[in-house]
Chains A and B, each alone.
Chain A
Amino acid sequence: MLNINTDLIKRAQEGDLKIITALYQHYQRSIFRYLYYRVGDQQTAEDLTSEVFLRMLRFISGFRPPSSSFPSWLFQIARNLVADHFRQSSSSNHLELQESLTMPSDDVDRAVERKLTGEVLRRALDHLSAEQRDVVILRFLSGMPISEVARALDRSEDSIKGLQRRAVIALRKILTDWEISYVQK
């Protein structure tokens, strides 16, 4: 886990190329996945990821300690960009509940039961609250440790413990309603 401390942030603010590159390397995948699961499109997620880090660079001089809030600050940039994206594209991120979900190649291999896929998951996430959705994406889909998720969402770890459990319960209900199987074999 990247040890974000005041000195690190200060050096980034001073234009330390290595520090900034390290921050980029550390967060780019989780930022990308977060954006992908929000907007549902690889290219859009790529574009927004670029914008997140350019804005990071642009505004990092204005970032103020505590340094532990840096992940929160970065993900807030990502959330803002998602909101802007939906506003500009006028596309709804609230999809209608789909009664039937089949694999794209239904004529190739018709599955008897509906299985949990990335696309199904993305649609299900849209039915969670914003906080629940964020914790599922960061905790389970980006693989971030709980301490880092807590910093990213500006909450305590205890709060994240409760939130993640409630989020998974809510997600389970959605998947159950959709008759989506997720038990691994």
Chain B
Amino acid sequence: MSKNDDLFQACLRALEKGAPVEFLAARLPQDDDETRSLVHLAAALRGLPHPNPLLANARARRYRLQASVRRSVATGQPGSNHHRGRVTEPVRPPARTTRRSRIPVIAAALVIALVMAAALLGAGLLQAGLRNAQAATLAEVTGQVQVASAGQTGSWHAASDGERLRSGQRIRTGPGSSATLTFFDGSQTTLQAGTDLILRRVDGGLGKVLRVVIDQQAGKSDHHVIPFGGKNSSFLVFTPSGIVSVHGTQFRVAVGERGASRFAVDSGVILVANDSSQVYLEAGQTIAAQPGQILQSPAYQFTLQGLLTDMQESTWTVAGVSFTVLPETTISGNPQLGDTVLVEGRVEADGSWVADSVEPAAGASETHTFTGELQSMEGQTWQISDWSLLVDENTQLGEGLEVGASVQVNFEVLAGGQWHALSILPLEEPEQDPTPTPTPTADPEADPVLAFEPELAELAACETGVDLTAALSNTASDPSDYAANVILDSAVITGAEHVDLVEVVPSNWELIEAGQQVDFDLHVDLAGDWNTLLDGTQVQVRVFIASETNTPEGHLAALTLNLVKDCQVTETGTPTETPTITTTMTATPTGTLTATATLTATATLTPTETITVTPTTTVTEELTATPTLTPTAVTTPAPVTACTGANPHPAGTKLADKLGVPYDEIMSWFCQGFGFGNIEIAYGLSREFGVPVEDIFAMKSGGMGWGEIRHVLEGQSAAPPPATDTPPPPSATDTPAPGGAAVPSPSATPAPSGGNAAACASQVHPAGQALAQNYGRSYAEIMGWYCAGFGFGDINQAYGLSQQYNHPVEEIFAMKGAGMNWGQIHQALSGNGGGKGKNKP
């Protein structure tokens, strides 16, 4: 063993604790380029995206393993101790053992059946895995498909089936390639060849809420959006020409050169909006949009595929049908006479057909389709949008056709030029939710009382896979109070960015009788970088009863699992029947390294008797908005039960006692996403430097690391104290956002506090700088709000909501100034549905 080996291992340990590689490299001896180089490579290896077993396969493996164990125990095969009869299972009432042991199997089968029933495109959806609201799962990857993180376009990697894409990731397809993204509720987005889009946001929440924001840069995408289960759901597609907002529908988006976009709906309704206009499109309708231009009225659509036989100046003919080509028409592939092309376009009000796009066709077959209004159905010649079609015994006619209906026509062009209808079908109604609902019949007399055991569990998580066995009980005593068709669901309350998957198995039961208890497993897959995060990083997962037939109003019972990254202590929390799986860091003393590795800010890293490595890392905890819970202002204590399953929270109580701060105050920060470790640090800095703790949290939310914050505070404390008696007016440059018609008036805005005024007088406020950088705003704009009396926490909230709901920030400040709390503002914004205009970048 050499000192170089020890040094390298110390660096690896620091990397595992979250120290940035450059930080480490800078603290190595100047002449030790060798170790520095190895550290860089080690960091690169750790940072690569590594493969994981597919969820479905992992689950199937586990079931097989468990089935094998059960068989072994039952038959006394090697590997079991049949004679002792010891198969450690939770104690259950002796009655109905057989039925209860069948339930998980039935439930598992039901889960699988439900998933399959929700599959719209076959095996790809099943392979896509169970619910994970924080990510979309890739399936049916064909050809060249690549994924990168937004902002890191130099690090594309080949995509694969089963890969999960999270908010901020980008995906693109090469020629002849495609891929499908499946969201947790079954909604799907299929990327055609040559498509490039960014998943700006993908998450969900309690009550099957789905929130998706896609930024489509180029190419074609097909979207099939399941009708929303939660009222706060949204599915938005941004293009250079407009934004699509959908509500349970099937539609297509194409983005061409120069940002020209085309939107077409197959079923349901979408809203297309841009800065100046918005248009609703129904089934069969289409709209073409140009960047910066007012949206035209929706039109019916057509599709032609076949030989290009004529190319006059503005009139082309494909497969025997002529249409108009405009300068705005997107033409790709330099089509020539005789080529087989695909044309998509719209039917104008005057009946003319205008092409939106012409491109080389993938196949050689001829296709003629269009949508329109059925105007007459007499005899053998029907009129559809002023076009005459021959209808005969070979024409497939849909049910319910009547004059005035919108229809889709598939036709052929006969030798004489007449159009012969091959099929005329009514345009589809929006699809019903394909997810089968439980047996609807409720027993009004039954009054089950469901409870989880445990209700709260806290685990120290060192590994990326966490398991908890829990139970759900019907504590009613009357046999008539049975619970029927119980379905469990889960949600990540905090720390969603650290969670890959939450799995509840089984997650539904046909029947839970009074006095009966059923077991289930809760499995959490933490993100691959969990091991690199600081101790104290927290994740909170909640399991709740999504539905139970006999209780339409719902059950309030929930299981809350708090996971804390803490590799120094053994498992704590509510004892469960989970066996001795302790997460214990058994750092073997070597005599030259301490068990805890801490990298000090100033120490040079050399292999001494004691190497201490304390990461002053830039690992931050982002303030994540969870709109399904009551959002709270940074400065307003939130109800302590808003984000925890227990009241009081034991760690919160302990910290409050330690700091001498009200419990509610501690929990308000916790409920906004700050871990207890960070809360303690923030209060420490606040007391050390005499800075309001809200400002400390604002800087942290702005992305600053603790080291940076300390550095800033040290610099501030050396500056002469600002005046506090006479608040000077904001300078001419410290004005709020331009165009802010809704800047709160002084009467509606709290008077500038002494603290705010003093900061307005100072040259630079680090929290203001951090927020300006975080939201891409000018420092003057941020400070304008601050000088008007809004705290940095409020400013952070306002800009966050403005981004989330695409709502002018001035109006949000006005609402806050008018006395609304953040919860009410949130409700108001989510009810608007967004899309009312964009903040200027």
Contacts and interface: CB of A to CB of B under 8 A. Distances in A.
Interface in A1-59: 1-3, 7-8, 11, 13-22, 24-26, 28-29, 32-33, 36, 42, 45-46, 49-50, 53-54, 57-59
B581 A28 contact: no
Interface stretch (A70-78, A79-87, A91-99, A112-120): A112-120
A46 B38 contact: no
Given A1-B586, A3-B582, A32 B53 contact: yes
A22 B467 contact: yes
A15 B581 contact: no
B68 interface: yes
Which of B82, B155, B162 gathers most chain A CB within 10 Å?
B155
Contacts of A57: 65, 68-69, 72, 79
B578 A117 contact: no
B88 A11 contact: yes
B602 interface: no
21 contacts: A1-B583, A15-B81, A15-B87, A16-B88, A26-B581, A28-B465, A42-B54, A50-B61, A50-B64, A53-B61, A105-B144, A105-B146, A108-B172, A111-B154, A116-B45, A157-B590, A162-B5, A165-B9, A168-B41, A183-B40, A184-B43
Given A24-B62, A29-B465, A105-B156, A17 B88 contact: yes
Contacts of B92: none
Closest 7 CB pairs of A and B: A15-B80, A182-B44, A14-B81, A140-B45, A161-B5, A158-B1, A15-B73
A117 B66 contact: no
A33 B1 CA distance: 28
Interface in A128-175: 136, 139-143, 145-147, 157-158, 161-162, 164-165, 168-169, 171-172, 175
A115 B585 contact: no
Q: Give the interface centre of B16, B469, B581 by most chain A CB atoms within 10 Å.
A: B581
B463 A1 contact: yes
Interface centre among A11, A121, A165 (most CB of B within 10 A): A165
A105 to B, nearest CB: 4
Contact of A121 (B48, B79, B88, B580): B48
B213 to A, nearest CB: 24
Contact of A162 (B2, B41, B62, B66): B2
A58 B79 contact: yes
A184 B582 CA distance: 35
A146 B82 CA distance: 37
A101 interface: no
Contacts of B72: 15, 57
Nearest to B532: A143
Contact of A147 (B57, B68, B80, B587): B587
A101 B154 CA distance: 15
B42 A168 contact: yes
Contacts of B658: none
Interface of A: 1-3, 7-8, 11, 13-22, 24-26, 28-29, 32-33, 36, 42, 45-46, 49-50, 53-54, 57-62, 103-105, 107-109, 111, 115-119, 121, 136, 139-143, 145-147, 157-158, 161-162, 164-165, 168-169, 171-172, 175, 182-185
B821 interface: no
Contacts of B82: 15
A147 B160 contact: no
Nearest to A163: B5
Given A15-B73, A24-B65, 20 more contacts: A1-B585, A2-B581, A8-B580, A17-B89, A22-B467, A25-B467, A29-B53, A46-B54, A46-B57, A49-B61, A50-B61, A50-B64, A57-B72, A108-B146, A140-B45, A157-B590, A168-B8, A168-B38, A172-B38, A175-B41
B462 interface: yes
Residue of B46, B50, B52, B175 with most chain A CB atoms under a 10 A cut-off:
B50
Contact of A108 (B1, B78, B144): B144
B157 interface: yes
Contacts of A60: 79
Contacts of A36: 51
A169 B79 CA distance: 43
A149 B586 CA distance: 13
B46 A165 contact: no
B836 to A, nearest CB: 37
**Residue of A19, A59, A119 contacting most chain B CB atoms (<10 Å):** A19
A111 to B, nearest CB: 7
Contacts of A20: 65-66, 69
B581 A22 contact: yes
Interface string B12-54: 1000100001000000000000000110111111111111111
B6 interface: yes
A73 to B, nearest CB: 14
Contact of A1 (B79, B153, B462): B462
B50 A118 contact: yes
B81 A172 contact: no
A2 B195 CA distance: 44
Contacts of A7: 580
Contact of A18 (B6, B47, B58, B578): B578
Contacts of B582: 2-3
B531 interface: yes
B233 to A, nearest CB: 32
Contacts of B580: 3, 7-8
Contacts of B51: 32-33, 36, 42, 45, 118
Contacts of B68: 54, 57
Most buried by A among B40, B51, B58, B155: B51
A53 B52 contact: no
B52 A29 contact: yes
> Which secondary structure characterizes the binding site on chain A?
helix
A14 B41 contact: no
Instruction: Give the interface centre of A3, A103, A121, A147 by most chain B CB atoms within 10 Å.
Output: A3
Nearest to B22: A184
A17 B274 CA distance: 57
A163 to B, nearest CB: 9
B537 to A, nearest CB: 15
A145 to B, nearest CB: 8
A104 B81 CA distance: 53
B231 to A, nearest CB: 36
Given A140-B45, A169-B38, A183-B40, A42 B160 contact: yes
Contacts of A145: 16, 585
Nearest to B8: A165
Contacts of A29: 52-53, 464-465
Nearest to B175: A107
Contact of A105 (B57, B162, B174): B174
Contacts of B154: 111, 115, 185
Contacts of A185: 154
B69 A54 contact: no
B84 interface: yes
B588 interface: yes
B469 A18 contact: yes
Nearest to B584: A3
B99 interface: no
A146 B13 CA distance: 9
A1 B469 CA distance: 18
Contacts of B569: none
Contacts of B162: 42
A184 B768 CA distance: 30
B579 interface: yes
Contacts of A50: 57, 61, 64
Given A24-B62, A54-B64, A58-B79, A141 B54 contact: no
User: Most chain-A Cβ atoms within 10 A of its Cβ — which of B6, B86, B155, B463?
Assistant: B463
Contacts of A171: 41, 45
A22 B69 CA distance: 13
Contact of A14 (B86, B175, B588): B86
Contacts of B5: 158, 161-162, 165
Interface in B261-300: none
